Structure 1
């Protein structure tokens, strides 16, 4: 049902790569006015036909009631606009640094008396290799700064002396030379990987909070290259011991920096404790799109309540939500020739009418057809909901079966980890 005219707001989305298309489209279909700006040149076509586009976002600042920044790196601009009295959903310089500067993020965790996994930052591959040789153990190799956006460069070692990480470092040295930038070696801890996320209204966290399990590898059973994400399962809760031990401790600091938006902390947990890994101080993708499947209230209204610092509870579904990406070549790699050959302007076909639960990602709409654009090969996200994880999975995979994308591929096991993970989390007293 469309909103009443007096409640209609003007939303300006400032997007790095067009990831917030589905959110902008949802708010547009709710009856609000929307403009979407995309910074990345190769992604400019994303969203055409779905929502009105903006060539220069700065020209529309006075037009907008609410400005939404969908990625990290805009914190300084967002804070300046807030200082001028604009309603802004997005980061601050402080929250940008939490995500982009791994050392700063770890230092802030320590400052807030949160236990962290030992890690060390390096600027040269040789120094890192010598360090592992002198301190043999299993390590995770994490790029810092802009290189961390290339998710396939993150490497999780399994050798107990770190020999596999040394081999990867030598390979990176040959292919990257001195252009890799800073990177971090973090001791590997075994356990369940889990994310705790919440919206923040400038003063405090808004409940319920979101518990997320990411599936990062390209193939089922966590095989293949790291992609950033292939799919996610989640649910909403009114409290969580992991939230209390991590994000909640940042409530005062986030309020001090006037943060309004969404923040997530990824952790490894086991019988010995909770170990935060890294922050995502913005919308997570596909996290926010799957959250949308579990939120019962209009998104435009939810965002307006956040930016006007209202205290409220989000109306969410009980049970579980899951989502899986359908991707096309060259995903997860960047290869323009392959994209143009196999994927550019390929049509997303629906066997039966009804696009419910299918969220456009890097698409444009021409004559009501959904066409793949951009250059990374992320076509759609498909979601499902249910009282049990199995119900949610069944709905999602039924919806995936209704979608035909030439050369499309996706994981067939999103949510399967839940049975084992939930047993462990219950036994450790963390659910």
Structure 2
């Protein structure tokens, strides 16, 4: 493909810098816009920047939005729709697909309307009403905040007590601490099983043939212990449109075509021998999922997204094995403490003990005089990936690469991918969800 012009837009936090860098490395012209003032140095030294994304729209052959948020408001889907109406090729959502993430009740309605089984769930705008519901219907529940505050990932709470008493305590605490910001929350019955996300790429009319299946690791510490984070690492593989896909995203294909959605859309599920139970949508790129997907794409990433945005029946060649990505972080992640960050992490050097940068992906990083450094305020400088014919081989490669990195005070989970090895993969196969379409 001839060199094309790609405009990447982060209208809230800077998230898509690694994809912009990857496309730039493939020889294409890139401009990257970051709205959040504290994030604007992210990507410096890696990709060209712009201070005015709207001024670059006519220049761009493809406009890429990285999230649904415009500051504290949902809004990139509306912007993407307006640009498409003016003839621009856009990777991004629509107002209704944005709503899938922002309004969990609406998301469940869309699933139910299209024949997808859902878990019992209830939306509350009042803490006392939610507490009363748990007392009247005692059970383990998952508490999921709604709206902008859902980005504070540690507020997601998974109940453990059969009588729901721990959920009641959590809701009382949230009422005191977060009542002024949390516009509502969803209570979802807890279901035991294998947690797996089904991720498809949609070109405005249909899903591409390859489907990505990934396994998130959201807790801070190994063994799934500690506070929830945005993500500490991901393991994944690609397959065909098997039963897991057909019973979830596959049923939404016509609806997404009516919307004109373009890009990655992910639905996280709990799966057991009795069925598939969707939990939540990610109608955008996942992070650091997209970095790991980039690592596993063996054809041109830029050509794929160009064709996806233009509805050109994109071709995608992917690694036929397993992939593991590990987020390497700095204090005080996942918390906000400016003093701790300034003293321990700001501008921290990322030192590589080898010349190779294979499998190294930037998140909150910049390059100054050839030296990689932590950037921004969040303490998530890099993601390190590996791949192999088995999940064990992918883990070995990823953690071997981490062993060649020196960064003061860095920490990471050392168990990404172990759940698959320890039985999740066998269970999914035994229950028949991967099936003969798996490739």
What range describes the TM-score normalised by the shorter chain of this pair? over 0.9
How many Å apart are 1:351 and its aligned residue? 1.2
Aligned match of 1:221:
223
Residue 6 of structure 2 is matched in structure 1 by 11
- Whether the 8 Å CA contact 1:122–1:128 is kept in 2: the answer is yes
Please tell me whether the aligned partners of residues 196 and 271 of structure 2 are also in contact (alpha carbons under 8 angstroms). Answer: yes
C-alpha distance in 2 between matches for 1:171 and 1:238? 44
Contact 1:208 1:313 in 2 (8 A): no
Which deviations, in whole Å up to 9, do the C-alpha atoms of 1:336-357 show, x marking residues without a partner? 2221111110000001211110
**Structure 1 residues 277-304: Cα deviation after superposition (integer angstroms, max 9, x where no partner):** 1110101111111011111011111111
- Which whole-Å CA distance do the structure 2 matches of 1:317 and 1:63 have between them? 33
> How do 1:84-123 and structure 2 match up within 5 A?
84-123=86-125
Partner residue of 1:55? 51
Measured after TM superposition, the shift of residue 255 of structure 1 is 0.8
Structure 1 gaps of 5+ residues are none
1:325 matched to 2:289: no
Match of 1:32 among 21, 28, 34: 28
What corresponds to 1:430 in structure 2? 433
Structure 2: runs of 5+ lacking an equivalent: 69-74, 435-439
In structure 1, the residue matched to 2:65 is 69
Q: Partner residue of 1:134?
A: 136
| Secondary structure of 1:19's aligned partner | coil
1:118 offset after TM fit, Å?
Answer: 0.8
- Deviation of 1:178 after TM superposition, in Å, equals 3.1
Once residues 312 and 301 of structure 1 are traced to their aligned partners in structure 2, the CA distance between those partners, rounded to angstroms, is 8
Distance of 1:90 and 1:335 partners within structure 2: 32
Post-superposition Cα deviations, 1:387-411, rounded to whole Å, max 9, x if no partner, equal 0011100000000001111110000
Name the SS for the 1:31 alignment partner: coil
How far does residue 176 in structure 1 lie from its aligned partner after superposition?
2.1
> Deviations for 1:76-127, whole angstroms, at most 9, x for unmatched residues?
0101100100111111111101111111100000100111001111112211
Comparing 352-361 and 169-178, the one that deviates more: 169-178
Match runs of 1:30-429 below 5 Å: 30-72=26-68, 73-419=75-421, 420-429=423-432
Partner SS for 2:209: strand
SS at match of 2:232: strand
What is the TM-score when the length of structure 1 is the normalising length?
A: 0.97
Distance of 1:291 and 1:97 partners within structure 2? 25
Paired residue secondary structure (1:263): strand
Task: State the SS of the aligned residue for 1:108.
Answer: helix
Cα contact 2:304–2:315 (8 A) shared by 1: no
Q: Across the two proteins, how many residue pairs are aligned to each other?
A: 426
Query: How far does the alpha carbon of each residue in 1:138-163 deviate from its partner, in whole angstroms, 9 at most, with x for none?
Result: 00000011011000000001101111
Quote the offset at 1:207 in angstroms: 1.6
Q: Which secondary structure state, in structure 1, belongs to the residue aligned with residue 325 of structure 2?
A: strand
CA RMSD of aligned residues (A): 1.0
Measure, in 1, the Cα distance between the counterparts of 2:155 and 2:260.
33
CA distance in 2: counterparts of 1:175 and 1:79, whole angstroms: 37
**TM-score normalised according to structure 2 size:** 0.96
Structure 2: distance between partners of 1:302 and 1:311: 9
Partner of 1:22, secondary structure, is helix
C-alpha contact 2:220 2:413 (8 A) present in aligned 1: yes
